[in-house]
Structure 1
Amino acid sequence: MRKFPVRILLALLAIAGIVYACAPEVNNKYEAKSISLDPETAASEAAKIRKEMNVEILDDLKLDLWAADSIVQDPIAISVAPDGRIFYTRASRQTSSEFDIRGHMDWTVASMSFETVEDRREFLRKTFEADNDQSMAHLKDLNNDGVRDWRDLTVEKENVWYVTDKTGDGVADYTQRYLEDFGEEITDVANGIEYHDGNVYVAVGPDLWKASDENNDGIADGTEALAHGFAVHIGFSGHGMSGVTVGPQGRIWWGIGDIGSNVTDKDGKNWKYPNRGVVVRCDPDGSNYEVFAHGVRNTHEFAFDQFGNLITVDNDGDHAGERERLVYLIDGSDTGWRINWQFGKYTDDKNNDYKVWMDEKMSLARNDEQAAYFLPAIQNFVNGPTGLVYNPGTALSPDYYDRFFVAEFRGSPNNSPIHSFSMKPDGAGFALADHDTIVKGLLPTGLDFGPEGSLYFGDWINGWGTKNEGRIWKLDVGADAGAETELRKEVGELLTSDFSRNDEPSLAELLGHQDQRIRFKAQFELAKRAENGFEAFREVSAGSKEQLARIHAIWGMSMMNRRGYEEGEGAFAELLLDADAEIIAQAAKMIGDLKQSGHAEALIGLLGHPSARVRFFAMEALGRTEETAAVEPIVAMLREDDGQDPWLRHGGMVALGRIGDAVAMRNLAADPSRNVRLLAVVALRRMESPEVKAFLQDEDEYVVAEAARAINDDFTIPGAMWPLASTLNARAWTSEPLIRRAINAAVNVGNDRAIDELVKYVDNTSNPAPMRAEALAALGTWADPSVFDRVDGRYRGVRKKSAVYVTEKLGSIIPELIAKGEAGVRKAAIRASSSLELKGTTDQLATMMTQDGNPDIRAESLVALDKLHAPNLEQLLRTALNDRNDQVRRRALELLPASTIEPASATKLYRDIIVEGTVGEAQSALAGLAKLPGAEGEALLGELIGQMAAGKLPAVIHLDLVEAVEAHDGNTELQKQLSAYEEELMKTDDLGLMATALAGGNKRAGYRVFYRNTTAQCTRCHAIFEYGGNVGPNLAGVGHRLSPRELLTSIIRPSEALAPGHETVLVTLNNEEMLSGIVVSRTPEYLEVKTGKTETKKIPRADIAEEETLPSSMPSVDGKISRREIRNLVAFLTSLKGEEG
């Protein structure tokens, strides 16, 4: 990859074009640091880079490089100040001081147990004690104290810089560090920033910070934490705090991804959402904090339209077959995601692989199989959303007004476009109206509009990690399309003018300006002016002919009321009678926002309004004001809607939950409307009321399942747990979500009655076999269950119990369960017999192992016999070694080391198998040798290394041998032999020991790596036919196109072999002209490059001075997953040779 900063800086320094300042400032908290470019040099370099870039843009747009690599590095979020300065956050801690769980999967259990950021702090301090193994492996001695420990995590600080164009020539020529701060061991990366009213708000877990520059020297004088408690878990990098913006009522809004939050606000109220993402808001001083929406995975950024509706795109869960989701978030909404649906229980042998998010169809737009408690997506939408903004009303051209803009970040400029889209009303919510791709060929991060109407965006350039490079681009229409209109010039002037000098009438007039930023600026200024300001708002709200002016006036009155202005509360009551439905809706919304009492009668009357939007906000206000008299009217309105409008339905659940009348909700159990009963269930769930148990008797299984979700999931409702468990055998259920939760409830109850329920369910052969097997698995792990919930995966902690009663009850029926019936139930029964140590089953298991016709049963029986320490185990193992099935023989080989067979005898068996057995048997034999103690086995391993070095050992067992030798790490002679082999191998194969992954893999295990491994995350970028992501090439038929070596190289060194259509080159011609593009074809005479949406260029080889391939955005899996997993992945990919069947 071309290293622009080095080249640019050297060139500029050579011509004395840069002034680099780094000197301490006496009166500042932060050290001054700035870079100044010669304007001509800056413009020349920007033009040069722009010419090199292969970028596709819509025909009516033009793209210019505004700030080059020499003054921008690793920009994440950006915020454009009214004077045109662009503030941006720069990732500094990402590489050495912040962790991604995918690189530390052994931390998963601990991380999932965290409830607060202090839990994470304690974990990091214990994990990184001085110079222990973890510290030596993962830390650098950043504080130079000669010790590696958690204190090294407190050295690196996050940075905020601003960039500006001092000369006004359209290219940035100056940058200054605004602050360098935030560096505790629990500090995340700064993913969010907003400049507002002279302050800079920075989102960097665990805090939202407010920075100020009192002396206007461009350097922050200090910071204040407004909210604390974000980033509870160690999760996916990039899922931290982000999206800082100013909302319609002057509050600061931001969000965090699914690494969660647990915040206590300034009034002492606790907001506990440790396992999900949230969108939150507070006043600029940190007061009036509240969680607006929860259940998001990683919205990154969101935006408000001209009516204050919050639109965003939420990231998907990286599961095969799902995509990101376009969502309209409403107050109190739960959009369903939990971090425990990403990882945790899925790698726990005591648990199962049931995924609520996927198995219950929650990742999709609304469908009949989904739960009722969450707000579904509008639709599945673009991948990897990062920056998102809304056109303020004058930016670009009229063709782009009332549109949102969202950046896709997929790690590669080849497939990370910026989209423009618009929304249209759909009942109380919205639907996607249309969308276009407007820019493609860069790697955009944050977006924001400049005061002159251009769209600016950060550019990560390539890849996922920091690289000390970055850019900021400017997108606009041409002059003939409106870039230099008088309106846009006026907006720029108004944004920089001092509104404190304006009188109230002029400010009131600006409430109706076409540009949203001007309207907000006028609104916020009037809100500072006490009685005069409120009267101005009141007059506009009541008498203006401009709808948007009236709406901003309503928001302004709300601001003033919330900040303590007590006069004029009746203003909203008057507006509830307005002829304009939107004005009524906004007034109702503000009443609810303020929790203003005295409007119940009017609001209840509006529940019958013809506008769904009015009905929605009237209902929301009644919920926020907790009007108990509104329960029946709300229910009546929702009964009539019958669940057709998802926003009305969800808003109703939120409102009824807030009102909190549990008795009224319980009494709806007899309501004839299924939708009404569902509303009651979810409302009771939100109250955490045990009264929800009444709905376990519902005649409709879907309603019962929803009640089961309410009781079992998240923090659970303990008072209703036994009623749920006791429903297991109440009817012949068919709903898997319900049955699983009833089984799990029995585990949670944990008493003898719960055991009776599970045993009864297992013993009933008319019940679904997979669910009987699940109940058996729950019984089998009864004494020491998984620390994770068997359904939703939430961390439940260690729950050890006595096994006496479960052993007694299960022992009486286990023989028949083992002997006959569905194979899954039999296997589960065998596992339960071993885990519960049912010694009385050993004779039966021995018979099964030797005589059963199903090899899975024979293999499972052998494992159980080993765990039960069967008295005749040695003979059984010898019998299994002669079994007609390879799987059984392999299992026996793996069990030999722990058996009573002498190591010398076991070694002889292993030697014979390696020489004469199948590939699978030889691999199992080596797996056994890895665990076999004694000199005999180690001597055999030494012989085998010699055979491998001499080329006399089959390649399909090379990796197994290497792993076996590495397992005997105490034998220095063996390790020397292996090192010598590796050294010799490197002379002819630069893959080294990784070459052992070329052969011998298991394609079925590789399938699991591809689709399920949360560290490899293959389907995040790749699909096989239609299943998976579309960032990288589709891998259907890849086994035909690439050899195993090519596949392995692409996995561990992705930049060495790029797929067609994904290779970007930077070409320098003999005349020093430079261009970039995607390689179309190569011949000895020409290099053909795609340089635009449809344009290609054939470049004669003779004209090319230098050709440089930019690195792949695909991260290597080397060191992240094991060599064995890599081998299995290669085997799976190699098998992909046919067409879709």
Structure 2
Amino acid sequence: MISVMSVASLQRSLFPRLLTMLRFSLTTPLACIALPLAVLAVDDKPLGKPDSAGGLQPYERKAEPGIAPASQEGTQVLKQLGLPAGMKADLWAAEPELANPVALSVDEKGRVFVAETHRLGSSVLDIRNYMFMLEDDLACRTVADRIAMCKKHFGEKFADLEKEEDFIRLMEDRDHDGKADFTSLYARGFNHAEDGIPAGVLARQGTVWATIIPNLWKFDGTNDKGEAVTKKSLSYGYGVRFGYTGHDMHGLILGPDGRLYFSIGDRAANVELPDGRRIENVDSGAVFRCEQDGSKLEIIHWGLRNPQELAFDDHGNLFTGDNDFDYGDTERLVYVVEGGDSGWRVGYQHPPMGKERVPWKSEQIWMSFKSSQEKYNGVPNPKVNEDLGVRPAAYLPPVSNIGDGPSGLLFDTGTGISPQFRNHFLLCHSKGSYAKSEIRAFTLKEDGASFTLGETKPFLQFIHSPDLDLAPDGSVYVLDWAETMSKTAKGRIFRVYDPAVLADPLTLETKKYLEEGMKSRDVAELTKLLAHADRRVRMEAEFELAARGKEGRAALEKAAAKKDVVADARLARLARLHAIWGLGIQGRKDTSACESLPALLKDADSEVRAQVAKVLGDVKYGEATGALAIRLQDDAPRVQYFAAQALGKLKAKQAVTGIIELIKQNNNKDAYLRHACVMALYGMATKSSDLLPPKQLQPDSAFDEVIMDFLDESMRSNEPGVPLAVTLVGRRLHGGSHRLPVEAVYCKAKDPNVRAQVRAEAARVITEDFAIYNGLVSEQGGAGMYFPLNPVSNARTLYAWFLIDAFSEDRERAADRDEKYAQNMADVAAAMDDEHYTLENKLDALTYLGDWATPQTRNRFTGLTFTKKWQPCGGKYAIDAIEEYWEKLMSPKQDIQVRVAAVAAVRKLKADGFAPKMAAIVKDKAQPVELRLAALEALGDWRNVAALNEAITAAQESGEASLKRATLKLLPKVDAERAVAVLEATLDGKDAAAQREALVVLGTLPAHGKADALIAAQVDRLIAGQVAPGAMLEVMETAKRREDGAVKAKLQQYLQSLPQTRTAAAFPQLLQGGDVAAGKKVFFEHTAAQCLRCHKIGGKGSEVGPTLDGISKKHPREYLLEAVLFPNNNIAPGFEMTMVVLKDGKSYGGMVRKETDTELQLSAPVPNAPVDTVKKADIQTRAPGISAMPEMMQQVLTQREIRDLVAYLASLK
């Protein structure tokens, strides 16, 4: 659908939106800094970025928020909305009444509360724009750590973070004309450095809750000015790091159990509880819950990246959409369950091993094998290895992979919206532009103890909405953020509705009940309302009955037992469920309120049995233990699931046999049922059944012995599922129970598949748990990890060898073990013709040997910061082990990568005793060049000047260009005067690569008359156009580094000679000399550039922009450079964004899909978008075409990165 608008609004509305239609999810300031083009020619850093030393970016931060004036943009967006059949939409509010809206909540009176931000990106930071403090950010474990980090890096500029203010806005339509006519700042003062953006709000009966890092806030009452009367922090400690923008606190919702639920992204949390304990979940996002007054805070589900809004279905199941990490995965729909771990860790975003090997991707943690993104929205999932054995069993799979940018979420309440969306979820997909964003509807189907995707279809298209909510009158209020993911100073609220539904008597009845409330109604009426068609009415009746004490309890017991007949079978069941939940609310204060429930575990309705089991476990009703144990053999998986969870909460050790039997029957087929059994055993093995993160509950030593009694037998047996489940229990425990995964390492089950799977899971555990590193050795007294397993297990096992005792302060105790594991590592690296070890295994082993004496700060697999001090023992044992296996490692039969890695290992170990061996390799012309080069570079790091000099001479006489170039940076270490002479000769030569290296070396030499003269001469040659194109950047960088006045003057002369144009001619230093491999890394992995978001190469990436395969066959380097720096200079056919104004005053904008002599076809820049055809004879004016790609690469890439990217693009033949 193409935008249509008046001529008057053309300049201020459509054209800017076309410019930003495909902006990426970046918060880099694109317009706040205007620098001359010449700056790019000399500064090897992105424009608009602080120096590498750090600093706060130069935003203009003001106390008063900047809000855009009124315009017709909201009306225009309204016209372009893709609405469902029979539904309409109105513009309810727009700027300047609100701006930058993140979330909203509509209360029972139809008042709208909006979470509004003016600090996003400027005072609430995104680590992608502050990569110089990434390691500090990842290491933060408390809010105080984050503030200390800011003070450290920003100094006196720290105060600038407290200038801007966010707030909660109240909006009302007091004259009932369908538009907001009253607005106030309901709650404000969110301008502290520790504050995140307001990202969640929930209003109910005069109380408003808001999630604003680092607090969960509660406001009560409203005065005459529309302001909150009281303000209270219910809990504190959310947002221990900056991480990525938007990974905040969200999702406030009231559950059918009367408790408050909310989410947080991987900015994570470390919250102190009233009793002094902490909920310390500092490495992932999570879902929390608490009572409405903030008490009894619990963490429900963790291992999430950025869950936003939450939604319950009619059976009390909780769901959220979680966002991807932008590298070959997709978003996920998550079933939120108690104790659930979805596997994300914040360190995965910045993986030490690179994104191809990050476990999130390589071990398919993100993947749902039941429902794909293609089923959800027609976009194929990335291709993966569908070997289920690769995926860690400890992490629950998502219900389905879904489309990009999941945010706002709601579930149909039974009235309102439209009949075509009955029993559907509505999920906002916020993708940075109207063209790409939408709201989709979908259903779910029960599948064992979990769910699978049902029907999917669009609800609202061409809307960039972060949130939506259902109003009492049945209409859906939808936020509009406007274009881009950055602040726009704009915002709208649309009201979407079905006129027939709004006039329906049942909808009007629902509105009346919600507005009037339940306090004045008698028990009989409240009981009747438990079967109302709308879930909101049912919940309010349930809550009121639960608050009525014994009278309410009697009514709830009667309703739960189905004593009153309701004609509609579905509503009859729902009435019973609400009655059960209501008894659960009472039971949390007095367990006797649930004494009637155990009898219902025999009910004919499986959902009734399931919810009764859930509530009995929730309130810890011990008298139900026997009845719950019987339900472990129920025909319905959901009943088995909740019964197992309940028995764990009740610490029913007598039910261990039943749990084990259920594990055998399930045989790992249902991951959620297995999870319930693991949670049962975990609950039985700990002293408390509170929901806290793993390892924060103390083990019950008595039960630990019970576990150990059958552990050995279960590990050696072929009993289906048992060894794996026991291993997963051990993963959650600490203290003495670390023996569980240790025993799993030595699993000797006869079935090789069982054995391999258990060992693989154990191998994962031992690389992530400090207690287990040491426990592995103390229990077994040796290396003991058996090959073969599988690539995942092998990689983890090698890393475990590296980590063992790395954190032990008893170095004498660890010495022998360090020697043993170094020997094991070298044995793996040197193995030949061994099917047990992959090339990757061998290279990893050599990497670890090289790092033997180097303190590590982050876990290689999880990317998480170590919380204990690394205590390396020195490199002696690693050096000795490599020496022992040297002959095998250097064998011509070894892969060349192994041989080079062995040299790299001794180089990093500073093992200069290997100097004669390195010199011999350099001199041996039979050796591969890359090996000789590695040996030469190793010598350059050591102090053996004689061996180095010998190797340099051999390299210079070798005839190999790469070896000769490598000597240039080494010569100054042995003979400075000779080095300058060789550098001069090199600069007079014709090898551009050697010239580049010579210039770099010259720039590093201390003040030296001859060196400065050489550099000045090179600048003269640059001015005269005599420097090889591939060395121009190095001349400019080298000259910039020198202090010599004559050199600086000449450089300035050259810069002034460059044309000040938006063409490649202004940047000749970026056309040649780039590194293809480095450029490929920029394209596929650069955090800020995100080329893959729009372009595709070799089948990887997106088709929003042109596919770049073979691009160099079509265009020269000048075109490629301009395409990066100035994409509007040359727009690829089919990707031109333009706008036209017709003679009748209407206007259209979009991507030019096709153009003939008589017609122009335009559409939104997304696959399968509708096309509008405009007759050229009807066009009055046509704006110049613009590119969908923003001109921002010079702000996020350095000169070298741009040059490398051009080299990579030029290699695509």
TM-score normalised according to structure 2 size: 0.84
1:218-617 correspondence to structure 2 within 5 Å:
218-319=226-327, 321-343=328-350, 345-346=352-353, 354-366=357-369, 367-477=388-498, 479=499, 482-543=501-562, 544=564, 545=566, 546-562=572-588, 564-565=589-590, 567-617=592-642
Q: Aligned to 1:960, which of 1020, 1034, 1038?
A: 1034
**What is the aligned partner in structure 1 of residue 704 from structure 2?**
662
1:74-93 correspondence to structure 2 within 5 Å:
74-93=100-119
Amino acid at match of 1:744: Y
Amino acid at match of 1:237: T
- Residues 426 and 442 of structure 2 are in contact (CA less than 8 Å); yes or no, is this contact kept in structure 1? yes
**What is the aligned partner in structure 1 of residue 982 from structure 2?**
909
Q: Flag the 1:993–1:861 CA change in 2: closer, same or farther, 3 A.
A: farther
**What is the aligned partner in structure 1 of residue 78 from structure 2?**
50
Q: What's the CA shift for 1:1115?
A: 7.9
Query: Equivalents in 2 of 1:915, 1:246: separation in Å?
Result: 76
- Residues 726 and 757 of structure 1 are in contact (CA less than 8 Å); yes or no, is this contact kept in structure 2? no
Q: What's the CA shift for 1:621?
A: 0.8
Query: Equivalents in 2 of 1:863, 1:992: separation in Å?
Result: 37
Q: Aligned to 2:718, which of 672, 681, 685?
A: 672
1:116 matches 2:158 = no
1:1013-1024 correspondence to structure 2 within 5 Å:
1013-1024=1086-1097
Q: Flag the 1:80–1:681 CA change in 2: closer, same or farther, 3 A.
A: same
1:735-814 correspondence to structure 2 within 5 Å:
735-748=790-803, 749-750=805-806, 751-752=814-815, 753-763=817-827, 765=831, 766=834, 768=837, 769-796=839-866, 798-803=869-874, 805-806=876-877, 809-810=880-881, 812-813=883-884
- Residues 235 and 294 of structure 2 are in contact (CA less than 8 Å); yes or no, is this contact kept in structure 1? yes
Query: Equivalents in 2 of 1:36, 1:486: separation in Å?
Result: 41
Q: What's the CA shift for 1:997?
A: 2.7
Deviating more after overlay: 739-748 vs 1061-1070: 1061-1070
Q: Flag the 1:655–1:892 CA change in 2: closer, same or farther, 3 A.
A: farther
Alignment gaps of 5+ in structure 1:
9-30, 131-148
- Residues 273 and 297 of structure 2 are in contact (CA less than 8 Å); yes or no, is this contact kept in structure 1? yes
Q: Flag the 1:986–1:812 CA change in 2: closer, same or farther, 3 A.
A: same
Q: What's the CA shift for 1:99?
A: 1.8
- Residues 217 and 232 of structure 2 are in contact (CA less than 8 Å); yes or no, is this contact kept in structure 1? yes
Query: Equivalents in 1 of 2:621, 2:1047: separation in Å?
Result: 78
Q: What's the CA shift for 1:404?
A: 0.9
Deviating more after overlay: 491-500 vs 646-655: 491-500
Query: % of aligned pairs identical?
Result: 29
Query: Equivalents in 2 of 1:891, 1:633: separation in Å?
Result: 68
Deviating more after overlay: 679-688 vs 1091-1100: 1091-1100
1:900-958 Cα distance to aligned partner (Å, 9 max, x none)? 232x5434433433443433323322332332233333333333233333333233222
Deviating more after overlay: 219-228 vs 288-297: 219-228
1:705-736 Cα distance to aligned partner (Å, 9 max, x none)? 21222232156535524269977565332423
1:1018-1041 Cα distance to aligned partner (Å, 9 max, x none)? 334543354235665544444456
Q: Flag the 1:678–1:1054 CA change in 2: closer, same or farther, 3 A.
A: farther
**What is the aligned partner in structure 2 of residue 859 from structure 1?**
933
Query: Equivalents in 2 of 1:792, 1:45: separation in Å?
Result: 45
Q: Aligned to 1:831, which of 904, 919, 935?
A: 904
Q: Aligned to 1:209, which of 207, 217, 221?
A: 217
- Residues 1060 and 1066 of structure 2 are in contact (CA less than 8 Å); yes or no, is this contact kept in structure 1? no
Q: What's the CA shift for 1:505?
A: 1.5
**What is the aligned partner in structure 2 of residue 626 from structure 1?**
651
1:350-397 Cα distance to aligned partner (Å, 9 max, x none)? xx9742212222222252211111101223221121112111122222
**What is the aligned partner in structure 1 of residue 772 from structure 2?**
717
Amino acid at match of 2:705: V
Query: Equivalents in 2 of 1:167, 1:880: separation in Å?
Result: 87
Query: Equivalents in 1 of 2:163, 2:276: separation in Å?
Result: 31
Query: Equivalents in 1 of 2:1039, 2:273: separation in Å?
Result: 56
- Residues 649 and 683 of structure 2 are in contact (CA less than 8 Å); yes or no, is this contact kept in structure 1? yes
Q: What's the CA shift for 1:77?
A: 1.4
Q: Flag the 1:308–1:730 CA change in 2: closer, same or farther, 3 A.
A: closer
Match of 1:345, SS state, is coil
Query: Equivalents in 2 of 1:334, 1:996: separation in Å?
Result: 50
**What is the aligned partner in structure 2 of residue 925 from structure 1?**
998
- Residues 214 and 236 of structure 2 are in contact (CA less than 8 Å); yes or no, is this contact kept in structure 1? yes
Q: What's the CA shift for 1:807?
A: 5.4
Q: Aligned to 2:745, which of 696, 700, 711?
A: 696
Amino acid at match of 1:876: A
Q: Flag the 1:48–1:1022 CA change in 2: closer, same or farther, 3 A.
A: closer
**What is the aligned partner in structure 1 of residue 193 from structure 2?**
185
Match of 2:519, SS state, is helix
Q: What's the CA shift for 1:272?
A: 1.2
1:454-507 Cα distance to aligned partner (Å, 9 max, x none)? 222222221121020122223334x35x45322222222222123222222212
Query: Equivalents in 1 of 2:436, 2:1111: separation in Å?
Result: 20
Amino acid at match of 2:122: S
**What is the aligned partner in structure 1 of residue 1146 from structure 2?**
1073
Query: Equivalents in 1 of 2:667, 2:962: separation in Å?
Result: 55
1:1021-1036 correspondence to structure 2 within 5 Å:
1021-1029=1094-1102, 1032=1105, 1034-1036=1107-1109
**What is the aligned partner in structure 2 of residue 1127 from structure 1?**
1203
1:68 matches 2:115 = no
Q: What's the CA shift for 1:547?
A: 0.8
- Residues 162 and 176 of structure 1 are in contact (CA less than 8 Å); yes or no, is this contact kept in structure 2? yes
- Residues 389 and 448 of structure 1 are in contact (CA less than 8 Å); yes or no, is this contact kept in structure 2? yes
Query: Equivalents in 2 of 1:1075, 1:170: separation in Å?
Result: 28
Query: Equivalents in 2 of 1:1050, 1:369: separation in Å?
Result: 41
Q: Flag the 1:510–1:257 CA change in 2: closer, same or farther, 3 A.
A: same
- Residues 837 and 868 of structure 1 are in contact (CA less than 8 Å); yes or no, is this contact kept in structure 2? yes
Q: Between the two structures, name the one with larger relative contact order (CA 8 Å, sep ≥ 6).
A: 2
Deviating more after overlay: 676-685 vs 190-199: 190-199
Query: Equivalents in 1 of 2:1201, 2:780: separation in Å?
Result: 39
Computed over aligned residues only, the root mean square deviation of the Cα atoms, in angstroms, reads: 3.2
Q: Flag the 1:724–1:868 CA change in 2: closer, same or farther, 3 A.
A: farther
**What is the aligned partner in structure 1 of residue 178 from structure 2?**
170
**What is the aligned partner in structure 2 of residue 646 from structure 1?**
671
Query: Equivalents in 2 of 1:7, 1:484: separation in Å?
Result: 38
- Residues 35 and 174 of structure 1 are in contact (CA less than 8 Å); yes or no, is this contact kept in structure 2? no
- Give aligned pairs, total: 1080
Q: Flag the 1:659–1:46 CA change in 2: closer, same or farther, 3 A.
A: same
Deviating more after overlay: 581-590 vs 843-852: 843-852
Q: What's the CA shift for 1:308?
A: 1.1
Q: What's the CA shift for 1:68?
A: 2.5
**What is the aligned partner in structure 2 of residue 684 from structure 1?**
730
**What is the aligned partner in structure 2 of residue 27 from structure 1?**
none
Match of 2:440, SS state, is strand
Q: What's the CA shift for 1:863?
A: 1.1
Query: Equivalents in 2 of 1:436, 1:353: separation in Å?
Result: 33
1:548-571 Cα distance to aligned partner (Å, 9 max, x none)? 111111112212222x24542203
Q: Aligned to 2:1194, which of 1105, 1114, 1118?
A: 1118
Match of 1:221, SS state, is strand
Q: Flag the 1:730–1:249 CA change in 2: closer, same or farther, 3 A.
A: closer
1:968-994 Cα distance to aligned partner (Å, 9 max, x none)? 3x4454444434433432424467975
